[in-house]
Structure 1
Amino acid sequence: MSRHVLIVVTSADRMPNGEATGLWLEEFAVPYHVFKEAGYRITVASPKGGETPIDPRSRDELQDHPEWTEAAEMLRHTGMLDSRLKAADFDAIFLPGGHGTMFDLPGHPELGRLLAEFDAQGKVWAAVCHGPAGFVGPKRADDLPLVEGREMTAFTDSEEHAVGLEKAVPFLLESTLRELGAIMKTAPDFSAYAIRDRNLITGQNPPSSAKTAQLVVEALS
């Protein structure tokens, strides 16, 4: 039986400063192809369902990557992130980034429930770049943050300053995850870096998308 991966993407299309945002396409399209090549079934869900906004800056890359077209098409018809989704029906959950995730994934009750289920069942939960924003809020059965004591990576404070959006986001992701007890591991800005801590797999930034997805495939092999 083929593996089944749930990919949760953002529905947020604007930052408070009015700037367009959304999903960073590379962080969805590259893992999508890695999972498809591994023979996995893929379900895509988002907080609002329907079409997922793609950050305009990342959509521009589509012309150089026609192989991403199928993945981009999947983003036009996402399912609803709701109580019908159960960890028992999937082998892994994957959260791509994009600055949109910083606004609608932290504290999302259904996402928090799902992530706690995946971890409690020993199943893979993974994210890349700003995707770990979805890890802000969920708790384990012992009421500790889901990331407490776990080695992971995410888009760094240094990278946020480098792209000039440190004041546009509601919090700095790396710092917040550290405050929640995560053991943060980072590489030089914008270099490909992904790590695995048991059933938790994370990547630092867009160039880390392939490595993160490959670690998921290894974990499910």
Structure 2
Amino acid sequence: MQNIRRIYKTGPEALTVLDGAALSIQRGEIVALVAPSGAGKSTLLHLAGLLEKPDAGTVIIDGEDAGALPDSARTDIRLRKIGFVYQFHHLLPEFTALENIALPQMIAGRVEAQADRRSMELLEKFGLTARAGHLPGKLSGGEKQRVAIARALANNPALLLADEPTGNLDVATANTVFAELLRVVKSENVAAIIATHNPDLALRMDRQIRLQDGRLV
């Protein structure tokens, strides 16, 4: 991300959320994004994930100026190269854990057998092989969030964006899930930006960036 500027206009008022923000991140690197509520963490993640366009600046993914592409091409990059994890798991309740992980792969063009193999591989990495056939309603909170993280990694993305991924969990479960998240992301060689309010979790990542006056420091 180079010289990113994002302004929200509400009537005559203009709120500058990001003003010259810049960030470079490589595969295998896990970066903590730390800032108080309202500082622009979600905006930054939306821009990095091509869900919004910056008012100025460039978003380059794998050497491609993704921010300047038309919507259809941006959607294709999100599907193939970016994984998202949110505070709430957003699993589809009528599908099993394995099916929730397989669906985005099939949308991306993998045949069902390939998608199922990749899904089982990720479930095994998270210690959830025995839960493959369970619906989300039969999973614990920690298990649901593990499945959500596995789903985000299903298409072998270059970049993982996580917004308070353990924020809905109790402390003990959050620590366990977070440790597994770090381990699997490293093993998958993914670049990851993880927004968190938790300073202890932030310290466990490779480096920390903070939003300050619209810039990253």
TM-score in terms of structure 2 length = 0.29
Structure whose residues are more often strand by fraction: 2
TM-score (norm 1): 0.29
